[in-house]
């Protein structure tokens, strides 16, 4: 091979020149083969590296690289998020309702109507969210994609409820004008405080009387309510005094925070005392209704007996219930509300009992079951889960149309809420000063348990505004 333009000359087979050219040819071939081999190796390595990079790009989750199939949030995580949204929205609604009552007491119903309207809208959104959760807990819908959509709907409804309250919080503050009208607001709160403090002794006496006239089951729903009411009032008087002192010193922010803490405790003390008085009224009404309910139930059983043989097992059960109630009435103290509840349930299984005296009995027992459950959730909301609140929302929805079913849901709600409180405990119990009332305030959700001193009191508003009147650090 030559690299010039001249005609090639045949090489001799022997001699030094031939040997030299042969050696040169051999070296040239070797020089050519080695680079080609190196290039081939580099190509193989480059291809392998490309494949590895491609594979990593498809699977890795480091920032800056978007996977074509991002991982989905596990369903249990979404369920916990939806539950937390329900609890927060429900707390916002309950707190807003409490403070709205103080504003109405001072300014009247007409002045607070725009804020009451916003609260009603928030309540509707929350009710819709609870309805979705109730169906979800019952397995509807079944497909995972649809269940994810349902959970997103719960979060969205709760967010809208909070947004409505957040939007009205500035206007609500302008109405209350606590910076300018602190003295008047303190007088309203102190007036309610004095009224409750004056009632406490009489209410405790009422409860003591109930415990002597009825078995323990009749008063189980209000056990400890007198002590809890006094605990809330201790907390209230402490913060009312601190609010007065802060106002005298010109520390308006501190005065407002202490006032809101006191108002929250006063509202819950009122709920607890009302619960005892309502129980006394319900027991009296139930005792007067039991004889008529027995008569009405017997008439329903007679009609059912003549109507269908397939109700035989229900008829036998109903007869047994009525006989048991009659025996209890003549054997000593008995629980008239529980007796009515059993009569109503026995007759409902026969397809009757929705009108007349049995309808009245169902309404009485249903309301008795729903109202105490609501009281318990309100005064223990720092520990009550979304599950108990969901059942309570369903019970409240059914109260007007099916009080018997409402009562059953309410009892389940109360049972679950009590379980939540037992499991949750109270981090302030046994650690705060005996006279501070902080444990009850934390358990009742009056203050957020975010700092060692209990955290800020809550105000009218949604998640973004309810902390705005926090207590300054001491």
Q: Mean pLDDT over residues 271-295, rounded?
A: 98
Pick from 32-46, 213-227, 252-266, 427-441: least confident: 32-46
The tokens for 72 are 């989905």
**Mean pLDDT over all residues of the chain?**
86
Q: How far apart are CA 333 and CA 235, in angstroms?
A: 37
Higher per-residue pLDDT: 455 or 223? 223
Question: Confidence band (pLDDT; 50, 70, 90) for 192?
Answer: very high
326 token code pair:
């009659």
Domain ranges of the chain: 73-176, 288-424
pLDDT band of residue 455 (cuts 50, 70, 90) is: confident
pLDDT at site 11: 41
Measure the CA–CA gap between 305 and 451, rounded to whole angstroms.
64
**pLDDT(21) > 50:** no
- pLDDT band for position 305 (50/70/90)? confident
Neighbour count for residue 470 (Cβ, 10 Å):
21
Q: Omega before 141 cis (within 30°)?
A: yes
> Does the pLDDT value for residue 256 go beyond 60?
yes
Rounded distance between C-alpha atoms, residue 293 and residue 271, angstroms: 30
pLDDT at position 90 over 80: yes
Q: How far is residue 104 from each of residues 97, 154, 252, 287, 467, measured CA to CA in Å?
A: 10, 31, 22, 37, 21
pTM: 0.83
Cα separation of 51 and 57, whole Å? 10
Q: CA–CA separation, 290 vs 342, rounded Å?
A: 11
| pLDDT attached to residue 471 | 60
User: According to the model, what pLDDT value does residue 34 have?
Assistant: 36
SS3 457: strand
């Amino acid at each position: 091979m030559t690299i010039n333009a001249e005609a090639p000359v045949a090489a001799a087979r022997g001699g030094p020149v031939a040997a030299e050219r042969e050696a040169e040819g051999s070296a040239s071939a070797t020089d050519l083969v080695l680079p080609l081999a190196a290039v081939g190796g580099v190509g193989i390595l480059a291809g392998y590296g490309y494949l590895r990079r491609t594979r990593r790009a498809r699977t890795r989750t480091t920032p800056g690289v978007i996977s074509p199939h991002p991982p989905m949030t596990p369903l249990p995580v979404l369920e916990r998020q939806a539950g937390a949204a329900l609890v927060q929205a429900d707390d916002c609604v309950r707190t807003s309702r409490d403070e709205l009552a103080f504003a109405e007491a001072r300014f009247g119903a007409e002045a607070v109507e725009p804020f009451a309207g916003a609260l009603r809208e928030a309540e509707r959104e929350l009710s819709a969210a609870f309805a979705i959760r109730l169906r979800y807990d019952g397995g509807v819908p079944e497909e995972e994609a649809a269940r994810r959509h349902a959970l997103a709907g719960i979060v969205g409804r709760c967010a809208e409820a909070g947004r409505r309250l957040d939007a009205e919080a500035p206007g609500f503050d302008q109405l209350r004008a606590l910076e300018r009208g602190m003295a008047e607001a303190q007088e309203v709160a102190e007036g309610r405080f004095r009224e409750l403090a004056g009632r406490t002794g009489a209410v405790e006496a009422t409860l003591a009387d109930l415990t002597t006239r009825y078995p323990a089951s009749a008063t189980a729903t209000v056990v400890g309510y007198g002590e809890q009411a006094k605990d809330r009032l201790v907390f209230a008087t402490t913060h009312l005094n601190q609010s007065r002192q802060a106002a005298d010193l010109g520390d308006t922010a501190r005065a407002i925070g202490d006032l809101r803490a006191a108002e929250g405790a006063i509202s819950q003390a009122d709920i607890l005392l009302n619960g005892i008085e309502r129980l006394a009224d319900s027991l009296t009404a139930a005792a007067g209704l039991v004889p008529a309910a027995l008569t009405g139930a017997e008439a329903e059983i007679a009609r059912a007996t003549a109507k269908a043989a397939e109700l035989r097992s229900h008829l036998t059960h109903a007869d047994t219930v009525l006989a048991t109630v009659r025996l209890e009435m003549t054997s000593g103290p008995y629980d008239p509300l529980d007796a009515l509840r059993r009569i109503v349930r026995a007759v409902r299984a026969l397809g009757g009992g929705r009108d007349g005296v049995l309808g009245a009995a169902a309404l009485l027992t249903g309301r008795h079951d729903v109202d105490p459950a609501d009281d318990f959730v309100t005064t223990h909301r720092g520990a009550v889960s979304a599950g108990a609140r969901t059942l309570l929302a369903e019970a409240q929805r059914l109260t007007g149309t099916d009080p018997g079913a409402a009562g059953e849901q309410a009892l389940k709600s109360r049972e679950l809420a009590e379980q939540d409180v037992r499991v949750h405990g109270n981090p302030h119990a046994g650690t705060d000063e005996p006279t501070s009332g902080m444990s009850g305030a934390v358990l009742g959700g009056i203050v957020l348990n975010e700092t060692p001193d209990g955290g800020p009191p809550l105000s009218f508003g949604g998640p973004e505004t309810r902390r705005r009147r926090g207590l300054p650090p001491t």
